[in-house]
Amino acid sequence: MAYTDKQKERSKVTTDYELIEVEDGHELIEVEDGHELIEVEDGHELIEVEDGHELIEVEDGHELIEVEDGHELLEVEDGHLKTKEYAETDIIFNSDGVSFVGGVEATKEDLFDSKTSILFSPMWKQSLAASVPILLNIALGLTSGFSATLLPQLEKEAGPIPADEETASWIASIAALPMVPGCLISGWLFERFGRRRAQFIVSALFLIGWILTATAYNLTFILSGRLFTGLCSGLIAPLGPVYVGETSEPKYRGFFLAAISLGMTFGIIFAHVVGTFTSWQWTAVICAVFPILSIVLLVFLPESPTWLISRGRIEEGVKIYNWLRGNNDEAKAELKAIIDRKLAAHASPVQTWRNKLLYLKSPELIKPLMIMNLFFATCQFTGTNAVTFYSIDILGKAVGKGIDQYLAMLIIDLLRLIASLAACVICKKYGRRNVFFLSSGLTVVSLIGLAMFLYLKPENMSWIPLFCLMFYICAITIGVDPIPWIMCGEIFPENVRGMGSGISTGVAFASLFVVVKTEPGMMKNLGEAFTFMIYATLTLFGVVILYFTLPETKGKSLHEIEDKLKSQNCNNSRRSVIAF
């Protein structure tokens, strides 16, 4: 750094100050009581002020005055004086990284001392962080797909577990029943214990559920196992998107959140494939492998930096944030926003769960909550999980006995997997709204086409309903299935993200339970054609409302999405369409 002679003389006026040359030509002035000044960028002037205060002129003409106790800064921005109180772990941003007030300095080297920072890019580390939510969502998919092969096997067995229509509907749907309280508990769980520890708990409970299912010798045991895995599905549903949303940067977030939906799809397919060739007991044993893998990986994964900072563990949160995201300008700006929100929240009254429940009256939460509730309900009433839970039964009614139903199910599953992989790429490249409305439009068309052919039943054309089912699965998988789960991790304010995501996913699973429980009765009493037409009508109704309310969140940081929703709530005269 090229300082003038006058500047260098000024820095050596008193013998109490020592000039220290550091790398890249930056200079540090060490004060006699041991306080240190932040590194100064090229062209910025260091001025000595009386009484041991030091004035640092930093970029953009802003000024910082460090008071002798090292805990208070007077910040002048564009001529306006601001006063901020900082705790020992609060941070000041400089050109090279983060410096902590109180004599503790954390440079770029301190924050990147791990060998993994050299070996792996932020994208790979964010991928590692997303791996456990994906594995646990595979377990969720296994829970959904397990009944499709379990029920036909129970019908063929003359064992102690009955397989009449009423019992079968309960075995299939009971997994959805605890998903609703699971979602509501999940918000409290991961706010209280942290995202990482909550995933440990969910993994352990998933393992217990699959052990109960694998060792079931009567109806009570198999229902208990289904209840456990259903509860865990509810717990992970809001937790996974929130953890991924908080550990990934905007340009990768859509891909990783879509990969969560891909995990569900893979779990469904895996349950169908394994259940086709093995007994339901061995299928449950194999399913237990996924929560075990999750537990192993969680040992190496960090806690969410957003959660750590929100709990006042700022230094730890900053280190993890930089490990995950790197130290580029975009990452530093987002980190600064997270810290600022923490400081603002620290100055506010303590947020108890009672206060958060009162926050339900706030438009800042009501608006995204109503949007997501409608969003999830619409997606469930497409009938997607009815097809998942009763795949073989629906295929038998739709295409008749002339086609191998197990083979047709596996072909449809393969298409679902391909469409899910395509969805990961599509959701990364295109906006959430465009993908969803294209997907939902094609879904409605395929449902109407399926209903028409099932009603008319033309002879020797059983391939047409099968084609409509295949088209329906592809259409629903590229957008209707993943987009709600993507946005669930993005749209809610940080201080009530757990509660908001828990309530909305609870609505999703309540809708899932209604669809799965009523599907056999609707098929029997109304017929296949009217059942699918009802699904088409409900989907169309929800899509029309969502067209005028659904926001676009692609490419925006979480605090940008939150700020935009707040600004729109402050102006009630605007049109109701959310245009970001």
Confidence bin at 283 (pLDDT 50/70/90): very high
SS3 189: helix
Q: Indicate the range of 21-25, 291-295, 566-570 predicted with least confidence.
A: 21-25
Q: Where in the chain is the domain with CATH 1.20.1250.20?
A: 122-301+349-569
Residue 54 forms beta bridges with which residues? 48, 66
> In this predicted model, what pLDDT tens digit does every residue of 400-422 receive, in sequence order?
665 676 777 788 888 888 988 88
Residue 427 forms beta bridges with which residues? none
Q: Is the pLDDT of residue 69 over 70?
A: no
Give residues with Cβ within 8 angstroms of 66, minimum separation 6. Answer: 35, 37, 53, 54, 56, 73
pLDDT at 134: 95
Q: Indicate the range of 22-31, 299-308, 360-369 predicted with least confidence.
A: 22-31
Q: CA dihedral in degrees (328, 62, 559, 498; nearest 10)?
A: 100
Q: Is the pLDDT of residue 80 over 90?
A: no
Give residues with Cβ within 8 angstroms of 55, minimum separation 6. Answer: 46, 47, 48, 49, 63, 64, 65
Count Cβ atoms below 10 Å from residue 246 Cβ, excluding itself: 24
Q: How far apart are CA 400 and CA 408, in angstroms?
A: 11
Query: 282 or 173: whose pLDDT is higher?
Result: 282
> Which CATH superfamily, name and number, covers 122-301+349-569?
MFS general substrate transporter like domains (1.20.1250.20)
**Percent of the chain residues topping a pLDDT of 70:** 71
Q: Is the pLDDT of residue 46 over 70?
A: no
pLDDT at 357: 64
Q: What is the mean pLDDT of residues 221-242?
A: 91
Neighbour-count burial of 58, counting CB atoms closer than 10 A to its CB (0-12 exposed, 13-18 middle, 19+ buried): middle
Confidence bin at 210 (pLDDT 50/70/90): very high
